[in-house]
Amino acid sequence: GREAFIENAIARLEAASLHQAGLFEDRPPRLEKARALGVATDWDDDVSQSVPKKRIAITGASTGLGAAMALQLAEPGVSFALCARNIAPFEELATELRRKGALVEYASVDLALSGAAEAWIRDVWQAGAIDLLLLNAGIFDGRGLDGQLETPDRAEKLISTNLTSAITAALTATDLMRRRGTGHLVCISSLAAFGPHADAPSYSASKAGLTAFARALREGLISTNVEVTVVHPGHIESRQTQQHVG
Protein backbone atom coordinates (compact mmCIF):
# COMPACT_ATOMS: atom_id res chain seq x y z
CA GLY A 1 0.00 0.00 0.00
CA ARG A 2 2.74 2.47 0.98
CA GLU A 3 4.79 1.68 -2.15
CA ALA A 4 1.79 2.14 -4.43
CA PHE A 5 0.95 5.45 -2.70
CA ILE A 6 4.49 6.77 -3.25
CA GLU A 7 4.52 5.68 -6.91
CA ASN A 8 1.18 7.40 -7.49
CA ALA A 9 2.39 10.60 -5.81
CA ILE A 10 5.53 10.67 -7.97
CA ALA A 11 3.46 10.08 -11.10
CA ARG A 12 1.13 12.95 -10.16
CA LEU A 13 4.07 15.31 -9.62
CA GLU A 14 5.62 14.30 -12.94
CA ALA A 15 2.34 14.84 -14.76
CA ALA A 16 1.79 18.23 -13.14
CA SER A 17 5.31 19.46 -13.89
CA LEU A 18 5.13 18.34 -17.50
CA HIS A 19 1.84 20.10 -18.00
CA GLN A 20 3.09 23.28 -16.35
CA ALA A 21 6.11 23.32 -18.64
CA GLY A 22 3.93 22.79 -21.69
CA LEU A 23 5.58 19.46 -22.40
CA PHE A 24 2.60 17.25 -21.68
CA GLU A 25 1.63 16.90 -25.33
CA ASP A 26 1.72 13.21 -26.24
CA ARG A 27 -2.03 13.44 -26.75
CA PRO A 28 -4.41 11.77 -26.37
CA PRO A 29 -2.52 9.11 -24.31
CA ARG A 30 -0.72 11.70 -22.17
CA LEU A 31 -3.88 13.73 -21.75
CA GLU A 32 -5.70 10.61 -20.60
CA LYS A 33 -2.91 9.88 -18.13
CA ALA A 34 -3.16 13.41 -16.76
CA ARG A 35 -6.89 12.98 -16.25
CA ALA A 36 -6.45 9.55 -14.69
CA LEU A 37 -3.97 11.01 -12.19
CA GLY A 38 -6.30 13.89 -11.40
CA VAL A 39 -4.05 16.57 -12.87
CA ALA A 40 -6.09 19.50 -14.13
CA THR A 41 -5.37 20.71 -17.66
CA ASP A 42 -6.60 23.61 -19.74
CA TRP A 43 -7.05 21.55 -22.90
CA ASP A 44 -10.42 21.10 -24.52
CA ASP A 45 -11.74 17.66 -25.41
CA ASP A 46 -11.17 18.52 -29.04
CA VAL A 47 -7.47 19.02 -29.59
CA SER A 48 -6.92 22.22 -31.55
CA GLN A 49 -6.12 21.69 -35.20
CA SER A 50 -2.70 22.76 -36.42
CA VAL A 51 -2.14 24.93 -39.45
CA PRO A 52 -2.56 22.72 -42.54
CA LYS A 53 0.72 21.23 -43.68
CA LYS A 54 1.60 21.44 -47.36
CA ARG A 55 5.05 19.90 -47.79
CA ILE A 56 5.13 16.51 -46.03
CA ALA A 57 8.08 14.14 -45.82
CA ILE A 58 7.64 10.58 -44.53
CA THR A 59 10.27 7.90 -43.91
CA GLY A 60 9.32 4.24 -44.20
CA ALA A 61 6.37 5.28 -46.33
CA SER A 62 5.98 2.50 -48.91
CA THR A 63 3.85 0.16 -46.78
CA GLY A 64 2.18 -0.19 -43.39
CA LEU A 65 1.66 2.81 -41.16
CA GLY A 66 3.73 5.14 -43.35
CA ALA A 67 1.59 4.49 -46.41
CA ALA A 68 -1.60 4.73 -44.34
CA MET A 69 -0.59 8.15 -42.99
CA ALA A 70 0.20 9.40 -46.48
CA LEU A 71 -3.21 8.28 -47.74
CA GLN A 72 -4.90 9.98 -44.81
CA LEU A 73 -3.05 13.28 -45.35
CA ALA A 74 -3.35 13.37 -49.13
CA GLU A 75 -5.40 16.22 -50.59
CA PRO A 76 -5.03 18.98 -53.17
CA GLY A 77 -2.20 21.32 -52.24
CA VAL A 78 -0.14 18.69 -50.43
CA SER A 79 3.28 17.72 -51.79
CA PHE A 80 4.80 14.46 -50.54
CA ALA A 81 8.44 13.42 -50.34
CA LEU A 82 8.53 9.73 -49.42
CA CYS A 83 11.33 7.26 -48.85
CA ALA A 84 11.77 3.58 -48.03
CA ARG A 85 14.27 0.81 -48.69
CA ASN A 86 11.83 -1.04 -50.92
CA ILE A 87 10.27 1.27 -53.50
CA ALA A 88 8.31 -1.42 -55.37
CA PRO A 89 5.02 -0.56 -53.57
CA PHE A 90 5.46 3.17 -54.23
CA GLU A 91 4.06 3.10 -57.76
CA GLU A 92 0.63 1.96 -56.60
CA LEU A 93 0.71 4.25 -53.53
CA ALA A 94 1.75 7.26 -55.62
CA THR A 95 -1.15 6.63 -57.98
CA GLU A 96 -3.60 6.69 -55.06
CA LEU A 97 -2.07 9.83 -53.59
CA ARG A 98 -2.17 11.63 -56.94
CA ARG A 99 -5.78 10.56 -57.38
CA LYS A 100 -6.49 12.47 -54.17
CA GLY A 101 -4.87 15.57 -55.68
CA ALA A 102 -1.42 15.41 -54.04
CA LEU A 103 1.99 15.75 -55.66
CA VAL A 104 4.35 12.82 -55.00
CA GLU A 105 8.06 12.14 -55.22
CA TYR A 106 9.74 9.09 -53.72
CA ALA A 107 13.18 7.59 -53.35
CA SER A 108 14.87 4.37 -52.31
CA VAL A 109 16.90 5.10 -49.18
CA ASP A 110 18.53 2.64 -46.79
CA LEU A 111 18.42 4.66 -43.59
CA ALA A 112 20.66 2.14 -41.82
CA LEU A 113 23.59 3.54 -43.82
CA SER A 114 25.60 6.30 -42.17
CA GLY A 115 24.67 9.73 -43.50
CA ALA A 116 21.72 8.49 -45.56
CA ALA A 117 19.02 10.15 -43.45
CA GLU A 118 20.76 13.53 -43.37
CA ALA A 119 21.43 13.43 -47.11
CA TRP A 120 17.80 12.60 -47.90
CA ILE A 121 16.47 15.43 -45.71
CA ARG A 122 18.76 17.94 -47.40
CA ASP A 123 17.79 16.69 -50.86
CA VAL A 124 14.10 16.99 -50.04
CA TRP A 125 14.55 20.45 -48.52
CA GLN A 126 16.40 21.67 -51.57
CA ALA A 127 13.27 20.94 -53.61
CA GLY A 128 11.02 22.68 -51.06
CA ALA A 129 10.95 23.40 -47.33
CA ILE A 130 9.41 20.63 -45.20
CA ASP A 131 6.37 21.65 -43.15
CA LEU A 132 5.77 18.25 -41.58
CA LEU A 133 8.31 15.44 -41.16
CA LEU A 134 6.98 12.04 -40.10
CA LEU A 135 9.84 9.85 -38.86
CA ASN A 136 8.19 6.49 -39.27
CA ALA A 137 10.90 4.20 -40.67
CA GLY A 138 11.56 1.15 -38.58
CA ILE A 139 12.26 -2.55 -38.68
CA PHE A 140 11.31 -5.26 -36.22
CA ASP A 141 13.43 -8.10 -34.97
CA GLY A 142 13.43 -10.44 -32.03
CA ARG A 143 12.91 -14.04 -31.14
CA GLY A 144 12.34 -16.26 -34.17
CA LEU A 145 10.59 -19.58 -34.57
CA ASP A 146 13.78 -21.30 -33.37
CA GLY A 147 13.59 -19.41 -30.07
CA GLN A 148 16.81 -17.49 -30.68
CA LEU A 149 17.01 -13.71 -30.32
CA GLU A 150 18.44 -11.43 -32.99
CA THR A 151 22.16 -11.61 -33.73
CA PRO A 152 24.46 -8.68 -32.88
CA ASP A 153 24.59 -7.71 -36.57
CA ARG A 154 20.79 -7.64 -36.82
CA ALA A 155 20.53 -5.67 -33.59
CA GLU A 156 23.02 -3.10 -34.91
CA LYS A 157 21.04 -2.66 -38.14
CA LEU A 158 17.80 -2.31 -36.18
CA ILE A 159 19.21 0.42 -33.92
CA SER A 160 20.69 2.22 -36.94
CA THR A 161 17.34 2.19 -38.74
CA ASN A 162 14.92 2.79 -35.87
CA LEU A 163 16.91 5.18 -33.69
CA THR A 164 20.10 6.59 -35.23
CA SER A 165 18.50 7.53 -38.56
CA ALA A 166 15.56 9.19 -36.80
CA ILE A 167 17.91 11.23 -34.62
CA THR A 168 20.09 12.40 -37.51
CA ALA A 169 17.07 13.17 -39.70
CA ALA A 170 15.38 15.09 -36.87
CA LEU A 171 18.47 17.13 -36.06
CA THR A 172 19.04 17.97 -39.72
CA ALA A 173 15.42 18.98 -40.24
CA THR A 174 15.24 20.88 -36.95
CA ASP A 175 18.20 23.06 -37.92
CA LEU A 176 16.57 23.90 -41.25
CA MET A 177 13.14 24.48 -39.68
CA ARG A 178 14.55 26.81 -37.01
CA ARG A 179 16.22 28.92 -39.68
CA ARG A 180 12.95 29.05 -41.56
CA GLY A 181 10.99 29.83 -38.40
CA THR A 182 8.47 26.98 -38.49
CA GLY A 183 8.09 23.23 -38.84
CA HIS A 184 6.71 20.10 -37.22
CA LEU A 185 8.48 16.81 -36.45
CA VAL A 186 6.52 13.66 -35.60
CA CYS A 187 8.44 10.68 -34.22
CA ILE A 188 6.63 7.35 -34.45
CA SER A 189 7.69 5.42 -31.38
CA SER A 190 5.82 2.50 -29.80
CA LEU A 191 4.18 1.34 -26.59
CA ALA A 192 7.24 -0.91 -26.37
CA ALA A 193 9.05 2.21 -25.14
CA PHE A 194 7.10 1.84 -21.88
CA GLY A 195 6.53 -1.93 -21.83
CA PRO A 196 9.65 -3.60 -23.28
CA HIS A 197 9.12 -6.91 -25.06
CA ALA A 198 11.22 -9.69 -23.56
CA ASP A 199 11.29 -11.32 -27.00
CA ALA A 200 12.38 -8.11 -28.77
CA PRO A 201 14.89 -6.30 -26.52
CA SER A 202 16.69 -4.34 -29.24
CA TYR A 203 13.44 -3.15 -30.79
CA SER A 204 12.17 -2.07 -27.37
CA ALA A 205 15.42 -0.24 -26.66
CA SER A 206 15.23 1.59 -30.00
CA LYS A 207 11.73 2.85 -29.25
CA ALA A 208 12.57 3.85 -25.68
CA GLY A 209 15.54 5.78 -27.03
CA LEU A 210 13.40 7.50 -29.67
CA THR A 211 10.84 8.57 -27.08
CA ALA A 212 13.55 9.99 -24.80
CA PHE A 213 15.18 11.83 -27.71
CA ALA A 214 11.90 13.33 -28.95
CA ARG A 215 10.88 14.55 -25.50
CA ALA A 216 14.29 16.10 -24.85
CA LEU A 217 14.33 17.72 -28.31
CA ARG A 218 10.84 19.12 -27.76
CA GLU A 219 11.87 20.70 -24.47
CA GLY A 220 14.87 22.31 -26.10
CA LEU A 221 12.68 23.77 -28.86
CA ILE A 222 9.88 24.99 -26.60
CA SER A 223 10.73 28.66 -27.22
CA THR A 224 10.76 28.21 -31.02
CA ASN A 225 8.08 27.68 -33.64
CA VAL A 226 9.30 24.13 -34.31
CA GLU A 227 6.91 21.54 -32.88
CA VAL A 228 7.86 18.00 -31.86
CA THR A 229 5.30 15.24 -31.34
CA VAL A 230 5.98 11.66 -30.29
CA VAL A 231 3.38 8.98 -31.03
CA HIS A 232 3.18 5.59 -29.31
CA PRO A 233 1.08 3.13 -31.36
CA GLY A 234 0.25 -0.34 -30.16
CA HIS A 235 0.11 -3.36 -32.44
CA ILE A 236 -1.01 -2.55 -35.97
CA GLU A 237 -1.87 -5.20 -38.55
CA SER A 238 1.25 -5.13 -40.70
CA ARG A 239 4.26 -7.17 -41.70
CA GLN A 240 5.68 -6.58 -38.21
CA THR A 241 2.79 -8.26 -36.43
CA GLN A 242 2.90 -11.11 -38.94
CA GLN A 243 6.52 -11.86 -38.06
CA HIS A 244 6.25 -11.22 -34.31
CA VAL A 245 6.32 -14.61 -32.62
CA GLY A 246 5.70 -13.32 -29.09
Residues labelled as active-site residues: 203
Instruction: Collapse the DSSP code of 231 into the 3-class scheme (helix H, G, I; strand E, B; otherwise coil) and give the result.
Output: strand
Who's near 224: CB < 8 A, 6+ residues apart?
178
Q: Are 200 and 143 in contact (CB under 8 A)?
A: yes
CA–CA gap between residue 179 and residue 169 (Å, rounded): 16
CA–CA gap between residue 229 and residue 224 (Å, rounded): 14
Residue 88: closest CA among 118, 62, 55? 62
Which ranges of the chain does DSSP label H, i.e. alpha helix?
Answer: 2-20, 29-36, 64-73, 90-99, 116-127, 152-159, 165-180, 201-220, 239-243
The rounded Cα 164 to chain-centroid distance in angstroms is 13
